[in-house]
Amino acid sequence: MEYDERLAHFRQCRPNPFDRDEEEDEVTPGRHTPPKHEVRPELFSSETRTQSSDRTMDLGLAEDHFSRPVGSFVASDIEQLQMAIEECKRLILVLPEHSEKQKDTVVKLIHLRLKLQELKDPEEDEPNLRVVLEHRFSKEKSKSVKQTCDKCSAIIWGLIQTWYTCTGCYYRCHSKCMNLITKPCVRSKVSHQSEYELSICPEIGLDRQDYRCAECRSPVSLRGVPSEARQCDYTGQYYCSTCHWNDTAIIPARVIHNWEFGPRKVCRSSMRYLALMIPRPVLKLKEMNPLLFNFVEELVEIRKLRQDILLMKPYFLTCKEAMEARLLLQLHDRQHFVENDDMYSLQDLIDISSGRLSCSLTEIHTTFAKHIKLDCERCQAKGFVCELCKEGDILFPFDSHTSVCRDCSAVFHRDCYYDNSTTCPRCARMTERKQDEPTDVNAE
């Protein structure tokens, strides 16, 4: 009751500035009445502070006018704001262009629209974390960055709207749109099914899709009525403009089969899936397209460097200095390079094509070889001497001019190994030792 009384008293003391036509009919006969089409100067009067305080922001922005608690507003408040907005629009068109009064009116129009949006979409206490269809949504605090809602495709006004971002797939949406989400988090698909579509744009046709969006099932057509059908180059299916924003991404199938890295248009869900899959080593090129190594020289170079790093790994695992220096952690972003030499990620292939991976991996290879051959005496002691020529420096299995015996892993000069017609000396000794062991046992 107290609030209603104060509100009624406020409205009596401060009449609506847009009802002045009725007030002006009651003025004295000698007073000049401005035409309705002219700009009302009292809206922008700066003569005295008392007048401006009596009519604080004549366009309905008085602070007391909007002091009502959230949720208790009525339709008249929204109607008055809409009337004030329309009046502002009219004044902007009437006022001289680029004038100070016109600029002030534009600012007031912005404030009015913000107030109107706040009344239509009141801010409520939202939880910081919410889980919807395996999405783990985190409440965003940024108010200045303009984002777009992935559900309704509308702009997220962070200044007056609450919005969330999925920490797994970076899906963004309004708080009011969260209950309308129907697509599960892509992160779960990546965790349970880490594989690519290896067919190039496997189109099935709109008729197989019943002329509906492959994701939200809304009607689509190539003519754009009621919604434009947009094809995703990764899945080959058609989507509506809400699910397909003409984002682009590199298609793994085109890279593997054609060594083509041109970005193609994909739907929103495919874009998020490819973004999460790009660092995962799930491509075994020797099985998918073994002929690729015959045409791409960079792949052969990278494979040799990776093979050398795998040969260096046993030295580091038994070297105290290498473990303290954490040399293997130089490949922490490509951990699969110290586990195998045949698995690649899509990011690896992109970096190979651009030349970045060759430079960085060559530098790491040089650092590893320097530690083993020059800096560490323990690692040097694990080297080999060519038993065929018994000349030259200490050899290591990752040297470019050496060959390694497949049976005993002994290291020789490449020329000596291929010119030698006999068997490996180390293998011969091991065979003789095995033959002598039963004889020694019988003698005892």
118-168 per-position pLDDT tens digit:
666 555 556 677 788 878 888 887 666 778 888 888 888 777 777 888 888
Q: pLDDT band at residue 187, thresholds of 50, 70 and 90?
A: confident
Q: Report the phi/psi class of residue 114: left, alpha or beta, with left for phi > 0 and alpha for psi in -120 to 50.
A: alpha
Residue 256: predicted pLDDT: 94
**pLDDT-wise least confident of 77-81, 108-112, 114-118, 235-239:** 114-118
37 vs 274, higher pLDDT: 274
Q: How far apart are CA 320 and CA 258, in angstroms?
A: 45
413 vs 49, higher pLDDT: 413
Burial of 120 (0-12, 13-18, 19+ CB in 10 A): exposed
As a whole number, the mean pLDDT across the chain is 78
Judge whether residue 338 has pLDDT over 70: yes
Burial of 96 (0-12, 13-18, 19+ CB in 10 A): exposed
Comparing CA positions, the residue from 304, 311, 302, 315 lying closest to residue 374 is 315
- The length of the chain is 444
Q: How far apart are CA 159 and CA 156, in angstroms?
A: 9
38 vs 367, higher pLDDT: 367
Q: Which two tokens stand for residue 262?
A: 């041109």
Judge whether residue 18 has pLDDT over 60: no
Residue 39: predicted pLDDT: 42
Give me the mean pLDDT over the 305-331 stretch: 89
Q: pLDDT band at residue 27, thresholds of 50, 70 and 90?
A: very low
Distance of CA 142 to the CA centre of its chain: 17
Residue 322: predicted pLDDT: 87
Q: Is residue 91 a contact partner of residue 43, using CB atoms and an 8 Å limit?
A: yes
Q: Give the single-character DSSP code of 96.
A: P
Question: In this structure, how many other beta carbons lie within 10 angstroms of the beta carbon of residue 410?
Answer: 22
Q: Is residue 255 a contact partner of residue 345, using CB atoms and an 8 Å limit?
A: no
The string of DSSP letters for 297-318 reads HHHHHHHHHHHHHHHHHHHHHT
Residue 9: predicted pLDDT: 64
Q: Is residue 239 a contact partner of residue 218, using CB atoms and an 8 Å limit?
A: no
Residue 62: predicted pLDDT: 40
Q: How far apart are CA 389 and CA 402, in angstroms?
A: 13
Residue 47: predicted pLDDT: 40
Q: What share of the chain has pLDDT > 90, as a percent?
A: 25
Give me the mean pLDDT over the 229-237 stretch: 93
Q: What is the pLDDT of residues 50-100, one digit of tens each?
A: 443 343 344 444 434 444 443 434 456 778 888 888 888 888 888 888 888
Q: How far apart are CA 308 and CA 400, in angstroms?
A: 9
**pLDDT-wise least confident of 44-58, 347-361, 419-433:** 44-58
Question: In this structure, how many other beta carbons lie within 10 angstroms of the beta carbon of residue 11?
Answer: 11
Judge whether residue 334 has pLDDT over 70: yes
Residue 263: predicted pLDDT: 94
Residue 34: predicted pLDDT: 44
Q: What share of the chain has pLDDT > 70, as a percent?
A: 77
What does pTM read for this prediction? 0.63
Q: Tell me the CA distances in angstroms from 194 to 271, 276, 430, one per residue in order.
A: 15, 10, 45
The DSSP H or E segment spanning 353 is helix 346-354
342 vs 1, higher pLDDT: 342
Residue 242: predicted pLDDT: 86
Helix axes 100-120, 75-94, angle to 10 degrees: 160
Judge whether residue 407 has pLDDT over 70: yes
